[in-house]
Each structure stands twice: as C-alpha cells, then as structure tokens.
Amino acid sequence: MNVQNAPKQDVPVGYKQTEVGMIPEGWEVRSIEQFTDCTAGGTPSTKISSYWGGSHPWMSSGELHFKQVFDVAERITDEGLSNSSTKYVPKDSVLIGLAGQGKTRGTVAINRISLCTNQSIAAIFPSSEYCTEYLFYNLDNRYEELRSLSTGDGGRGGLNLTIIRKLIVPFPPLEEQTAIANALSDVDSLLNELEKLIAKKQAIKTATMQQLLTGKTRLPQFALREDGTAKGYKTSELGELPEDWEVVNFSSIAMLKNNRINPKINGAEDYCIELEHIEQGTGEIAGSTETTISSSIKNIFTKDDILFGKLRAYLKKYWKATQDGVCSTEIWVLKAAPQKSTSEFIFQTVQTERFIEVASEAYGTHMPRSDWKTVKEFQLAIPLLQEQTSIATILSDMDEEIQSLRQRLDKTRQIKQGMMQELLTGKTRLVKPTQQRN
C-alpha cells in the first residue's frame, strides 16, 4: 500500500490518523530530508583502464540484491575516484536502486563497509536520529510503492534524489525502532540459515546422483556376487561401469507419449500444466490452470508420467505427475518402458547434468527446443530394475527432505511478511508506550 495515500480508518485509543495511515500516538511522521541527506554516485569511464583495478570499492546497482553488502566486485583507482562523480558513502547507509534492469529499481540494501557507488544508487546517510536497520525494513517493505513513484514510462522509468528525499516514513521512538529491527533481523538470520541448508542438501543430492547413477558407488545389497565376492567393473563406451550394468539409449527406458486433445473438439479440461507452472530445478509445480474451448492443442498425461519442458531445456523444468491431466505441447510427456525402468528412475535421470546438456542441443535460435531425435539416442548406464528402484528411492527421499526445507523457508517468509505488516505500522508493539510505563 502506498503510505502517502493510505485510507482513513476509525481511530482506536492510543493511535492517530496521519498521511501514512493510522499509527501509534508516540510515533512521528517525517520525510527523509527532515532527518538526514542522501546522494547518488557515478561511474568512472570504462574506456580508461587506469581508472579501474585500484583499492576503492565501487558498487553497481546489481549488487543491491545482496541486501547486506559486505564486499563488492569492482575496485577503482584514486584517478578514477577523482575523475568521476562517484563518491564515498558512509558505512551503514541505506541504499536504494534508482534505476536498473529487471527488479533492481526500488531494491533496498545496507552497505556494511564504506564504499563508492554508481549513479543508479541513492545512499541515505546514517544518523543518530534513526536506526539504520529500521529504515531499511520500512523501505524494503515498500518495494512496489517505490517502483510506482518512478518517473518515466514502463521499464525506462526511474527514481531520483528528489523523490527519495520526499519519502514519508513513520518513526517510533529509537528504542522501538531498534526492537523492531532486531526482531526482523532474527527472522532474516533464520531465512539465511535455511537457504544455506537447502543449498548444502542440494549439493549432497547432486553428488549422490553422480555416484549412484554412474555405478561409481554401489548400494551394499547389490555390491556382491552370489558367492560373496565383490562385483567388479568393465570398460564401456561410457567408461568404467559395474560388471552387471548395461549401456542403453534413453528411448529404450523412456517412451515419448504423443496422445493429444483439441479443446475445441474435446471440450475443456480442469487440470492443465503450462511451462510457467513448472519450477526451475526443483521438480515441483507452482500451480495449474484450466483449458477453454479456445485453448490450443494439449498433450495428455497420466499419474506418474514424467513431464519435461523441451523449450529452453537449460531451465530444468521437470515434474513427476501426481495426477492425470493435460499440458502444453512445449512439454514432453515421458513414460517408463515396462520391465525396463521406473518412473522415479527416469525422473532422476532427466535431472542429471548429462541429460540436460544433451536436451539443450536444441534447434531454433529465438525459441530453442530439444530435439527428440537427439535425446532418444542419449546413452546412459543402467542397472537391473531392482537396483534402479533402490537408487531412485534414495534420491527421492533426498528430494522430499529438500522440499520440506523449501516449504519451511516459504512459511518463514510468510511469517516475516506478517511481522512487517504488524510491527512497521505499530499494530503490534514490542516496546510499551511511555505513558503505560508510568
């Protein structure tokens, strides 16, 4: 919600109506320019090499997405500093993206070191009159509002220092600012730890896939012959393989289904998966849609089929269907060949870097699509069906653990959003008002 156009409400005892909406009586409303100043930087000429590679840290607007900036990629020289409009920004300033590609405009961060910035970053100087972290969270929560204040049209719009200086901010007493910032910072710490844990678990899963799907590591129950001696390895076109594995083409274990419907003839379907519904690299979906009688032709899939996005295969869009439905024709529908493989083994196979690499050997420049003629000849090593099942079960269990952590991460983000709505408006108080202490 735009705080400068907040709706009027009935005002309960202890609160007041202001230009930013209803806030506690002990809070103040001030513009940025009333308590501190801000500045923007510049970029030394990239055509002059002597301006670059020095000792002065120089931040580009793309680095705002780190939120807490402890270091930056570029350094400039004394000459670059003195021959451009860039300047040093004090440590613990609140930084706002004035312009930039994609989502950069309106993004907020804090620099934890003194540094220089480019012209697309506004730096709000720290002051003893406010808590830096409180201002950061207030503005970070107003991302869409900041973008709406931009001058210019569409993606070319931008913020400027005049807009930033006129921003209105509700300020509780300094003690409460600090308490609010600390509470939200604690949640951010939890989010960071969860993100690190997910990355670690994903790295472990990737390494496990590499070991198990190539036979470099054998599961104990398949490592011995009937006489109790250890199984050996053999040389193949794919390198060293377990003696009881074989090299096959992908099409010998996975069949491409081409069953289709035309909604104009067959009618609408209530469960349709488009490419945008499949998440990148997670094996999960983020919604579905319905078809209408005006929809294009769709592929038909059934539960346990594997869906793989053939358009821009490097985006790693794959999903094991949990129910019957239809999907875009930009999605392959794969089915395990009976007695040759299982759906879960194929699902794990299409996640491997080798498969993605082959699937990315596409035709079409602007809309690159995987070529089934190439992918069906993709060679891989497979064990017997029982070992495939055991390998797939282990990897699937790891997927479930990672997904559980992702769900926890999403839930924590929702909790943080709710906390921001409550704490930054004074609906929930962490510090008792002064009059209630006496």
* pLDDT single digits (tens) 153-199: 555 568 999 999 999 999 999 999 999 999 999 999 999 999 999 99
* pLDDT single digits (tens) 342-355: 999 999 999 999 99
In a domain, 222, yes or no: no
Query: What is the reported pLDDT for 302?
Result: 98
Range list of H helices, 323-424: 343-349, 353-359, 372-375, 385-423
In a domain, 437, yes or no: no
Same-domain pairing of 181 and 264 = no
- The enclosing domain of 103 has a CATH number of 3.90.220.20
pLDDT band at 48 (very low <50, low <70, confident <90, very high): very high
Nearest CA among 261, 38, 333, 48 for reference residue 167: 38
Taking 90 as the threshold, does the pLDDT of residue 399 lie above it?
A: yes
Q: Range with the lowest mean pLDDT among 27-36, 108-117, 359-368, 418-427? A: 359-368
Q: Cα 101 to the chain's mean position, in Å?
A: 17
Query: What is the reported pLDDT for 294?
Result: 80
Q: What is the mean pLDDT of residues 80-90?
A: 97
Please identify, among 141, 156, 172, the residue that sits at the C-terminal boundary of a domain: 172
Query: What is the reported pLDDT for 150?
Result: 81
pLDDT band at 87 (very low <50, low <70, confident <90, very high): very high
Same-domain pairing of 212 and 283 = no
Q: Range with the lowest mean pLDDT among 11-25, 149-163, 177-191, 399-413? A: 149-163
Taking 60 as the threshold, does the pLDDT of residue 356 lie above it?
A: yes
* pLDDT single digits (tens) 258-311: 999 999 998 989 999 999 999 999 999 999 999 988 889 999 999 999 999 999
**Residue 316 Ramachandran class (φ > 0 left, ψ -120 to 50 alpha, else beta):** left
> Distances from the Cα of 146 to the Cαs of 99, 107, 142, 345, 374, in angstroms?
11, 9, 6, 47, 48
122, 95 Cβ separation under 8 angstroms: yes
Pairing of strands 379-382, 306-309: unpaired
- The enclosing domain of 183 has a CATH number of 1.10.287.1120
Query: What is the reported pLDDT for 284?
Result: 96
Taking 80 as the threshold, does the pLDDT of residue 101 lie above it?
A: no
Query: What is the reported pLDDT for 174?
Result: 96
Which range of residues forms the domain containing residue 419?
A: 174-217+386-425
Mean of all residue pLDDT scores within the chain = 94
Taking 70 as the threshold, does the pLDDT of residue 2 lie above it?
A: no
Query: What is the reported pLDDT for 7?
Result: 57
Q: What is the mean pLDDT of residues 317-339?
A: 97
Structure tokens belonging to residue 200: 């670690």
Torsion angle, CA of 308/313/315/318, rounded to 10 degrees?
Answer: 10
Query: What is the reported pLDDT for 154?
Result: 52
Q: Which H helix or E strand runs over 28? A: strand 28-31
Range list of H helices, 36-82: 78-82
Q: Which H helix or E strand runs over 202? A: helix 174-212
How large is the angle between the packed helices 174-212 and 385-423, nearest 10 degrees? 170
In a domain, 436, yes or no: no
Same-domain pairing of 126 and 101 = yes
Residue with tokens 């991302």: 143
Same-domain pairing of 45 and 164 = yes
Query: What is the reported pLDDT for 362?
Result: 78
Number of domains in the chain: 3
Same-domain pairing of 332 and 421 = no
pLDDT band at 8 (very low <50, low <70, confident <90, very high): low
Query: What is the reported pLDDT for 102?
Result: 76
In a domain, 10, yes or no: no
Ranges of beta strands (E only) in 172-310 are: 233-236, 239-242, 246-249, 254-257, 260-261, 272-273, 298-301, 306-309
Q: What is the mean pLDDT of residues 49-72?
A: 97
Tell me the C-alpha distance between 203 and 402, whole Å.
11
Tell me the C-alpha distance between 322 and 251, whole Å.
23
Query: What is the reported pLDDT for 433?
Result: 79
In a domain, 371, yes or no: yes
Please identify, among 152, 172, 192, the residue that sits at the C-terminal boundary of a domain: 172
Rg of the chain over Cα atoms, rounded to whole angstroms, equals 28
Q: What is the mean pLDDT of residues 326-330?
A: 97
In a domain, 12, yes or no: no
Same-domain pairing of 139 and 44 = yes
Same-domain pairing of 269 and 363 = yes
* pLDDT single digits (tens) 227-251: 999 999 999 999 999 999 999 999 9
Which letter does DSSP use for residue 287 in this model?
Answer: -
Residue with tokens 């193949």: 236
Same-domain pairing of 270 and 187 = no
Angle among Cα 76, 82, 88 to the nearest 5 degrees reads 65
Same-domain pairing of 274 and 135 = no
In a domain, 270, yes or no: yes
Same-domain pairing of 161 and 30 = yes
Q: What is the mean pLDDT of residues 406-429?
A: 97
Same-domain pairing of 141 and 74 = yes
Query: What is the reported pLDDT for 186?
Result: 98
Query: What is the reported pLDDT for 3?
Result: 54
* pLDDT single digits (tens) 201-227: 999 999 999 999 999 999 999 999 999
Q: What is the mean pLDDT of residues 398-424?
A: 97
Tell me the C-alpha distance between 299 and 329, whole Å.
6
Answer positive or negative: Cα dihedral of 22, 28, 34, 38. Answer: negative
In a domain, 152, yes or no: yes
Percent of the chain scored above 90 by pLDDT? 88
Same-domain pairing of 252 and 358 = yes
Note the pTM of the prediction, 2 decimals: 0.85
Nearest CA among 293, 288, 289 for reference residue 263: 293
| The 260-261 sheet, strands edge to edge | 260-261, 298-301, 325-327, 272-273
Structure tokens belonging to residue 103: 């989502």
